[in-house]
Amino acid sequence: MISDYGHPAGVTEPSSVNNGSVYYNSNTYQNSEWALMEGGDAIFLPAAGARFGTNVNSVSTYGYYWSSTHVNESYAYSVSFCGPMVSLDNWSERYCGFSVRLVRDREDRRVSQRRV
């Protein structure tokens, strides 16, 4: 859980944000609120599940995303979440069908050697 996050001005923070006892799927926003959050560097990562072989599992329950950093030729780092749990430093086999979300640091906020 990331406890130092705050919503931008003009966006009401739902009671379930930054509260590990409730699930993220109770958070709803209007398009105008998303526009404000994107302007404040927020990104949307849906609980898209993952593909393992020919099976797609955990849609609307888990989110699995690849990072840009590989461990070796067989493994890469990934980020996952389910309910209030977020795991930022997983090693996963590279054949798993995780989502990819293209995110670029802003020039004025670049963090060197950032892995996630």
For 26: left if phi > 0, alpha if psi spans -120 to 50, otherwise beta; the answer is: alpha
What pLDDT, on the 0 to 100 scale, is given for residue 73?
Answer: 92
Please, which residues bridge with residue 90 across strands? 78
What pLDDT, on the 0 to 100 scale, is given for residue 98?
Answer: 92
pLDDT tens for the chain, 116 residues: list them. Answer: 445 666 777 777 766 555 555 555 566 778 888 888 887 777 778 888 999 888 999 988 889 999 888 899 999 999 898 877 888 878 888 888 998 877 665 555 444 444 44
Expressed in angstroms, the distance from the first to the final Cα of the chain is 15
Q: Using CA atoms, how far apart are residues 2 and 82, in angstroms rounded to an integer?
A: 14
Please, which residues bridge with residue 79 across strands? 65
Torsion of CA 72, 44, 17, 29, to 10 degrees: -170
What pLDDT, on the 0 to 100 scale, is given for residue 76?
Answer: 92
Q: Using CA atoms, how far apart are residues 45 and 31, in angstroms rounded to an integer?
A: 16
What pLDDT, on the 0 to 100 scale, is given for residue 47?
Answer: 86
Q: Using CA atoms, how far apart are residues 91 and 100, in angstroms rounded to an integer?
A: 15
What pLDDT, on the 0 to 100 scale, is given for residue 64?
Answer: 92
What pLDDT, on the 0 to 100 scale, is given for residue 106?
Answer: 55
